[in-house]
Structure 1
């Protein structure tokens, strides 16, 4: 996990600029980002709620694993959430490039490419998540490093259509830049942790006062913020890596959707 001096990147990634631009795109297109992320997140939450109960899906109650059926339902709900997250990220990656290039954001245009990439994105996201999770069990730093290795997998699949070669493509692109990428992603992870903490407090209160439907809608809207930021940041990291390593500009990357 260490880079030798000869392996150090000659051109800086520009972590500060990437973080700043990610926030700029997020808040400059806030309603559009929330709309694109909200719908699939809500669908995923409804499906998960049907499998394991809405209180568990919302985080109000802890899951129970008293029998094989409950464990299987929780596992299936996890897969559903992973598929939905993959679809959401594939949609938002395209939005990020349109926003960066000051082009009209057209959510309907993103559906086709996102759906065509869904199977490899979902399966490889699950694999990468398990690898990062296992590394995190050893220590949090290896987990962040593994996360950085596979961080641009989704843009690679959606943009380059590399299919199940997405993990390898991400590993090649991120080589020599994994620690800067990990540093950039930490802020996004902190944002998600904070949002999830606030969401947990608010949702518990809303579920008690306003009922499950209102809590589900609010949970989906707030979760969309964290997913939106991470997806935008990953899209910009991917674009920056291709600019540094291959001389490919953002408009050339986005031209695959024209």
Structure 2
């Protein structure tokens, strides 16, 4: 029996993968944005109902000093997935905060599952609309949520111990969520992800870092040259009801678009690994 040398393995193609992500975002923007917007609206409504506007938006009694985390990086990317009790002291966390946290995890799982289905369906030539992928994602929301928690804990422990193990664990489990959503593998998606990523872990880390750097650059440009001037123009440097509402709406729409963009790399990577390991795009 002969074994192919390590150098014969086809490359992951980091540059091509990044290009695929942005090309897909452009071509399927309507469906991606609709799913992201629905997620953002429902997530916000749940937090407002359960924990109120002060904790939802991370405000003190004076309404100026943030204590929570709104609009951070969640499992699906940038968006309202970080809304919740944030940095509140444990003594201040009540039943509403705990229920909100659980529902936010489930909503995030539904969101990333729907985006994964949307991406894979489009690649297989059977593009589906937002209502269909959301309906199908409901069936895998619980296992996707469980896998998201496992990944979060594992990667966090890796970063606490040493930075490099955290990156490696991230790469090993990088396609577990699309596997769970698309293949219905449940917790078996963790092992399936490890098998698919074997031999490509450090290129996967490179892909993640390159994509994150591009998104960071876009965020800085958008914030400095679009949102900041728009805020000054709408509010005149002073808080106003109409200007504040318009600015909040624009920021929310931009955040929804970012959430959709941030959810694309994992399913795009999943499809690429299927090409490399199994010679196709799966079922």
Alignment-derived partner of residue 115 in structure 1:
138
Quick one: distance in 1 between partners of 2:58 and 2:215? 14
Quick one: structure 1 residues 223 and 108, their matched pair in 2 at CA, closer, same or farther if it must change by over 3 Å?
same
Per mean C-alpha deviation after superposition, the further-off stretch among 18-27 and 163-172 is 163-172
Deviation at 1:193, TM superposition (A): 5.2
Q: Structure 1: which 5+ runs fail to align?
A: 1-5, 254-258
Counterpart for residue 256 of structure 2: 224
Q: Which is richer in helix?
A: 1
- CA radius of gyration, larger in: 2
Q: In the TM superposition, what are the counterparts of 1:85-234 in structure 2 within 5 Å?
A: 85-101=108-124, 103-190=126-213, 208-210=239-241, 217-234=249-266
Deviates more, 1:143-152 or 1:224-233: 224-233
Assess, with a 3 A threshold, how the Cα gap between structure 1 residues 144 and 113 changes in structure 2: closer, same or farther: same
Give the superposition deviation at 1:105.
Answer: 3.9
CA displacement at 1:74 relative to structure 2: 4.7
Quickly say closer, same or farther: Cα 1:92–1:137, change in 2 above 3 A.
same
Instruction: Give a deviation string over 1:201-235, Cα, whole Å, max 9, x none.
Output: 969x6895448876665454323323322322211
- Asked if structure 2 preserves the Cα contact closer than 8 Å seen for 1:89 and 1:227, the reply is no
> In structure 2, what is the Cα distance between the partners aligned to 1:147 and 1:8?
24
Superposed CA RMSD in Å reads 3.3
Cα distance in 1 for residues equivalent to 2:57 and 2:114: 23
1:40 equivalent in structure 2 = 39
Q: 1:54 to 1:96 in 2, by over 3 A?
A: same
1:46-65 CA distance string (max 9 Å, x none): 21233444354345621353
Q: For the Cα contact (< 8 Å) 1:9–1:177, is it kept in 2?
A: no
Matching residue of 2:9? 10
Is the aligned partner of 1:242 residue 2:247? no
| Partner Cα distance (2:212, 2:51) in 1 | 26
CA distance in 2, matches of 1:84, 1:165: 21
Q: Higher relative CO (CA 8 A, sep ≥ 6), structure 1 or 2?
A: 1
Give the structure 1 partner of residue 19 of structure 2.
20
> TM-score, normalising length from structure 2?
0.72
Q: Which moved more, 1:102-111 or 1:39-48?
A: 102-111
State how many pairs are aligned: 245
With 7-16 and 38-47 compared, the bigger mean Cα shift is at 7-16
Question: Unpaired runs of 5+ in structure 2?
Answer: 60-65, 69-86
Between the aligned partners of 1:111 and 1:237, the Cα distance in structure 2 is 21
What is the TM-score of this pair, normalised by structure 1?
0.78
Greater alpha carbon shift after TM alignment, 55-64 vs 162-171: 55-64
Deviation, structure 1 residue 90 = 0.9
